[in-house]
Amino acid sequence: MQLSVYRGRFAPSPTGPLHLGSLVTAVASYLEARTHNGEWLIRIEDVDSTRVMPDSSRKILHALESFGMNWDGEVVYQSQRHASYQAALAELNKNGLIYPCACSRREIADAAVMSIEGPVYPGRCRNGLSSNLAGRPHTLRVKTECSQIEFVDHLQGKVDQCVESEIGDFVLRRADGIYTYQLAVVVDDAWQGMTHIVRGVDLLHSTPRQIYLQKLLGYKTPAYLHLPLVVNKQGEKLSKQTLAAPVDLTRPLPQLVATLRFLGQNPLDELVEGDITSFWQWAQANWQAERIPKGNRFINEP
């Protein structure tokens, strides 16, 4: 199959309904794809079945449709992709790159140095499980030797991270058998031929881990653009945990216009009075990714 030059995606976790924060990511990824004559795919990231909220995938897809955002191809569900994640683990295992770890959180916290995302795994099980840990449930971790990763994010600029010293050997399969986000996202972005990733800046520090895995698995690295986050009055990212309100499906236009403003664009006030088709025509004709500001901010709720 001939791949289009630009293939992007929106990859929501179905842990709750779409809110204005996730709408920002959907709109920016959609406009970036469409203004590059690219494809825009949807992947439902339901790999962590313990966090899935029933019916939330259907509601997210329905909300995207109500907001006039049409995706290409079939929706992919990570819950149906376990065999591919297992195959990637087998590939890494063949090359001696993963190992079982039976440390508890407490044991790691007691022995670890703290870094950007919490304790850096101190490597206790890297050379084999000690006999007193042998019967415990175990995670699978990837070795992070030689893991200095540098990339240029289209909005946030240069990022340089040594995964080994700043994150440590990270988990690819949890002790309860669930494949982690870091593994699933890398396998799926490669399998789906993604060329451009547009998502929230909260994932900026995950990107070196993903590029590291791409290198180990022989995958290409896509381009990245990490967006500012919508925060509430307490400065917290809008999310299910911070009780963000779902988008209001009865009045898409004011929310779409507010989303464009958040993204640094200058939509005309009249767009609120028009229809969805005219909104998207205007948005595509006038979209300028260079105008997106870097900083996390409130959104002026319509």
Q: Quick one: which segment of 10-18, 64-72, 277-285, 286-294 binds ligand GLU (CB under 6 A)?
A: 10-18
Alpha-carbon gap, residue 192 to 3, rounded angstroms: 10
- In the complex with ligand GLU, the residue whose CB is nearer, 102 or 178, is 178
- In 3D space, the residue among 194, 196, 186, 180 whose CA is nearest the CA of residue 217 turns out to be 186
Q: Are strands 98-101 and 196-200 parallel, antiparallel or unpaired?
A: unpaired
- The residue written with tokens 């907001």 in the block is 67
- Using a 10 angstrom Cβ sphere, with 0-12 exposed, 13-18 middle and 19 or more buried, the burial of residue 285 is exposed
Q: Does 8 bind ligand GLU (CB under 6 A)?
A: no
Q: Does 12 bind ligand GLU (CB under 6 A)?
A: yes
Smallest distance from ligand GLU to CB 32, Å:
13
Question: From the list 59, 199, 209, 226, which residue makes contact with ligand GLU (rule: CB under 6 A)?
Answer: 199
Smallest distance from ligand GLU to CB 106, Å:
27
- The residue written with tokens 């790999």 in the block is 47
Q: Would you list the DSSP string of 163-213?
A: HHHHT-S-EEE-TTSPBPHHHHHHHHHHHTT--EEEEEGGGGGGHHHHHHH
Contact characters 42-61, ligand GLU, x per CB under 6 A: ---x----------------
Smallest distance from ligand GLU to CB 197, Å:
6
- In 3D space, the residue among 86, 87, 30 whose CA is nearest the CA of residue 279 turns out to be 30
Determine if residue 11 is labeled as part of a ligand binding site: yes
Hey, which residues between 112 and 131 contact ligand GLU (CB under 6 A)?
none
Gyration radius (Cα) of the chain, Å: 20
Determine if residue 101 is labeled as part of a ligand binding site: yes
Determine if residue 240 is labeled as part of a ligand binding site: yes
Q: Does 28 bind ligand GLU (CB under 6 A)?
A: no
Q: Evaluate whether 280 touches 26 at the Cβ level (below 8 Å).
A: no
- In 3D space, the residue among 300, 302, 291 whose CA is nearest the CA of residue 31 turns out to be 291
- In the complex with ligand GLU, the residue whose CB is nearer, 11 or 183, is 11
Q: Does 185 bind ligand GLU (CB under 6 A)?
A: yes
Determine if residue 162 is labeled as part of a ligand binding site: no
Q: Evaluate whether 300 touches 272 at the Cβ level (below 8 Å).
A: no
Determine the angle formed by the axes of helices 20-35 and 276-286, rounding to 10 degrees: 60
Determine if residue 125 is labeled as part of a ligand binding site: yes
Q: Does 13 bind ligand GLU (CB under 6 A)?
A: yes
- In the complex with ligand GLU, the residue whose CB is nearer, 262 or 279, is 262
Q: Quick one: which segment of 6-14, 33-41, 90-98, 277-285 binds ligand GLU (CB under 6 A)?
A: 6-14
Q: Evaluate whether 9 touches 40 at the Cβ level (below 8 Å).
A: yes
| Contact positions vs ligand GLU (CB under 6 A) | 11-13, 45, 185, 199, 203
**Which residues carry a binding-site annotation?**
9-13, 45, 101, 103, 121, 125, 181, 199, 240
Which residues line the annotated binding site for L-glutamate? 9-13, 45, 181, 199
Binding-site residue positions for Zn(2+)? 101, 103, 121, 125
